[in-house]
Structure 1
Amino acid sequence: MNTVLLTLGRLPKALDIARSFSGAGWRVVVAEPHRRHLAGASRSVARSIRVTAPAVDARAYLHDLARVVREEGAALVVPVSEEAMHVAHLRPLLPDSVRLLAMPPGLVLRLHDKHGFALAAAEAGLAVPETFALDDPAARGLADATDVIVKPTHSCSGRGVRRIPRGAPLPPPEPAVVQRLVVGQEHSSCTLAQDGRVQATAVYRGTLMSGSVAVGFERVDHPAIEAWIARFVEATGWSGFIAFDLIVDAAGKPWGIECNPRTTSGLHFFAEADLAPAILDPAHPLRFRPERRLQQFWSCVTETQDSFGDWPRFRANIRHLFGTRDVTWRGRDPLPLLTMPWTAWPIISEAKRRGVPFGEVATLDVGWSDAGPVPHSAG
């Protein structure tokens, strides 16, 4: 039996991938810095192994992953979320026979960088709003001409994003970008690709938000966005998962504003049974599941509770909560949903301590910092 290693287990995305590989006859192992996690409660996961968090010691994290691959005999390594930027550096530590579902780190990090992505999209001839490094004098000129968005260079989940009115002061110098504000409807996506060819793309919009993170979402058909993504994937020769945030303006034109070189919640719209076969074989179809609206139940419960007293919002949230299917629940594998308040308690408690939504702290210990890991060649 082949073994696949997932490099994070705390998020529902990992659970979808684990269930798919298990259903395809693979043994699933999860490497996770947390002692307990969502996917670890699933019958689809054969073993969970605790590893060093990359935010604690990025080099140790990579060596821990390589050790798990070796000891568990993994044939495939699949990154899940923000840890993907670290996992991209794992290739030199792996045997040649092990497949790593990640692009070279130089490209991954360029696209994770807000400025690097904007430049890459522009080079591909795609629409992206004017974007400058915060310390570039051109950023001041842009901010004097129009409303702008200031974003940390490597932020995720909306952390540190600020809207600055035209002519207002910019923040002090820091690793950040200044981007022209595009007014319109925000869309997100999740794509699986192979050698520059899109296998499938899910485009979706948030239906219930926790801060800036969608915890309820709806899949939509948007050919212009799909064409934008296909052109970007072809230009970069991308293989693996990649995702984008885009704004569609009043004229219907999509503008790429961020790239996530990893999965997003859009993964849930793919048919679970197709995920593993499509990762293993680009010719295998990756179909959509029948539901167009999905939610993360416990996060939606929290948002509904928080809206109590704001009666129009509360009623809308109640309708959403009881009228939308959860991404995690499976009758044949119920424990991940039922035990989530316990398995996710480290994240829940940290979110409460900081007074921020769950999504803003869920990946703090695995996200990429400007320092990053020490390359393997450095010794």
Structure 2
Amino acid sequence: MKILLTGTRAPVTRDLAAAFAARGHEVHGADSLAAASTTRTLNSFTLHAPPAQRFDAFARDAQALVDRLQPDLILPLCEDIFYWTKASQGWPLFAPDLKALIQLHSKFEFVVLADCLGLPVPQTRRLSPGEDAEPGDWVYKPEYSRFGRRLVIQPRQAQALARDPKNPWLRQAWIPGEDVCFHAIARDGALRAFAAYRSSWRTRGGASYYFDPLEPELAQRLEAMAARLAAALNLTGQFACDLRHDPDGRLWLIECNPRATSGLHLLAHDPGALSDAFTGGGDSILRSDGRATCIGPAMWLYGLRPGRYRPWRTDLRRARNVFAGVTCAAVLDTMGFSLRAALAGRNLQDFLTADMECNRDLTCT
């Protein structure tokens, strides 16, 4: 098969390219930003217009690329999935339709869906126009956002919130406990791969760079939730959920990312089975082998801090480094992106998502 990966700045590009190559597939890539540390494993790479900022130009670039490559499978890896789906002219996308994508992406509509399926969710509502944050055990966040950015958690006093009519704020009950996550791959409503994990290593913006598999009993409970979601939507695609595990042992679904996330790294131990999860072959579910993974350069850049050296050293030693063998290229990518971000007056995480992020309901435009 000829496979096109898009959003190849994502570190999961490396594991996916290796997985598809293990089955003899031809792997190509496309993105509106080029990252040498991930694209060097591809047969070819094509740069296209930024979809969130120049959608019409992106749609033309995407159509030209599809016409030229004639891929058997297109696998978007980042929030570009919304724009590839919106632009699609019957392309072989590994993704649900745009309506289902937005339903999962919306932090409000996802809670409504999960509640209708009998899955536990915190009390959540949209704020009315002009309503601001109030003190109390609440979390305030935009309906469409990522990496935990712009969160207002348990405010101690009233706080004004920036307004965007296309991206309203939500108020959600604060759930005490620990953060846990899962990443799932589904085809025709059935799970084909699943990994559940936690992370104590995160950037200040909330993005994880260390992925530690959960104990089997807890992972099984999360897998049952994932299976119910996949079946309810007859889902074909990747989806990842953030949850809270409260002190009483209850699990609460918080939000969903209907795309690839770094939890996929926990499935790379069996490249052939990971490839099959997307392309077909066998009915078994690929699960984590229990070994942690990490984004090595991020562990050095963000994790090595005074007072955390011992746990940092221990965790680094027991994890597979996603960028093993290409650390220098990954560091150079990060330096280059950081410089471009600074010149644009943005932080690095904002810069790396601004050209493809989806902050509104694209089905309404």
Tell me which amino acid in the other structure corresponds to 1:368.
Answer: C
2:333 maps to what in 1? Answer: 343
Tell me which amino acid in the other structure corresponds to 1:327.
Answer: V
Find the aligned partners of 1:237 and 1:111 in 2 and give their Cα distance. Answer: 13
Partner of residue 228 from structure 2, selected from 224, 228, 231: 231
Find the aligned partners of 2:13 and 2:128 in 1 and give their Cα distance. Answer: 38
1:287 maps to what in 2? Answer: 286
Partner deviation per Cα, 1:45-90 (whole Å, 9 max, x = no partner):
1100000111221222222122111101211100112211222223
Structure 1: gaps (5+ residues): none
Please provide the CA RMSD for this pair: 2.5
Tell me which amino acid in the other structure corresponds to 1:275.
Answer: L
2:312 maps to what in 1? Answer: 317
Tell me which amino acid in the other structure corresponds to 2:302.
Answer: E
2:138 maps to what in 1? Answer: 148
Asked if the contact 1:22–1:28 (Cα under 8 Å) also holds between the matched residues in 2, the reply is yes
CA change 1:344–1:37 in 2 (3 A) is farther
Find the aligned partners of 1:350 and 1:88 in 2 and give their Cα distance. Answer: 28
CA change 1:16–1:128 in 2 (3 A) is same
Worse-superposed segment, 160-169 or 80-89: 160-169
1:177 aligns with 2:170: yes
2:212 maps to what in 1? Answer: 218
Identity of aligned residues (%): 24
SS at match of 1:125: coil
Asked if the contact 1:13–1:265 (Cα under 8 Å) also holds between the matched residues in 2, the reply is yes
Partner of residue 326 from structure 1, selected from 318, 321, 343: 321
2:265 maps to what in 1? Answer: 268
**In the TM superposition, what is the alpha-carbon distance from 1:359 to its structure 2 partner?**
4.3
1:201 maps to what in 2? Answer: 194
Instruction: Give TM-score, length-normalised by structure 2.
Output: 0.88
Asked if the contact 1:150–1:177 (Cα under 8 Å) also holds between the matched residues in 2, the reply is yes
**In the TM superposition, what is the alpha-carbon distance from 1:170 to its structure 2 partner?**
5.5
SS at match of 1:77: strand
- Detail structure 1 runs of 4+ shifted over 6 Å in the superposition: none
1:247 maps to what in 2? Answer: 244
SS at match of 1:274: helix
**In the TM superposition, what is the alpha-carbon distance from 1:102 to its structure 2 partner?**
0.9
Partner deviation per Cα, 1:275-316 (whole Å, 9 max, x = no partner):
2222111635453454521110001110144x2xx3x22333
Instruction: Give TM-score, length-normalised by structure 1.
Output: 0.85
CA change 1:373–1:34 in 2 (3 A) is farther
2:95 maps to what in 1? Answer: 102
**In the TM superposition, what is the alpha-carbon distance from 1:163 to its structure 2 partner?**
0.8
Find the aligned partners of 2:274 and 2:351 in 1 and give their Cα distance. Answer: 27
Find the aligned partners of 1:166 and 1:341 in 2 and give their Cα distance. Answer: 40
Find the aligned partners of 1:338 and 1:346 in 2 and give their Cα distance. Answer: 12
Tell me which amino acid in the other structure corresponds to 1:88.
Answer: T
SS at match of 1:259: strand
2:354 maps to what in 1? Answer: 364
Tell me which amino acid in the other structure corresponds to 2:142.
Answer: P
**In the TM superposition, what is the alpha-carbon distance from 1:26 to its structure 2 partner?**
1.4
Tell me which amino acid in the other structure corresponds to 1:219.
Answer: P
2:82 maps to what in 1? Answer: 85
Asked if the contact 2:140–2:153 (Cα under 8 Å) also holds between the matched residues in 1, the reply is yes
Tell me which amino acid in the other structure corresponds to 1:216.
Answer: Y
Find the aligned partners of 1:244 and 1:287 in 2 and give their Cα distance. Answer: 18
Aligned positions, number: 355
Asked if the contact 1:58–1:372 (Cα under 8 Å) also holds between the matched residues in 2, the reply is no
Asked if the contact 1:294–1:324 (Cα under 8 Å) also holds between the matched residues in 2, the reply is yes
CA change 1:88–1:173 in 2 (3 A) is same
Find the aligned partners of 2:140 and 2:102 in 1 and give their Cα distance. Answer: 19
SS at match of 1:85: helix
SS at match of 1:258: strand
CA change 1:282–1:84 in 2 (3 A) is farther
Find the aligned partners of 1:351 and 1:314 in 2 and give their Cα distance. Answer: 29
CA change 1:361–1:189 in 2 (3 A) is farther
Find the aligned partners of 1:280 and 1:61 in 2 and give their Cα distance. Answer: 26
Asked if the contact 1:148–1:166 (Cα under 8 Å) also holds between the matched residues in 2, the reply is no
1:257 maps to what in 2? Answer: 254
SS at match of 2:357: coil
CA change 1:232–1:143 in 2 (3 A) is farther
SS at match of 1:362: helix
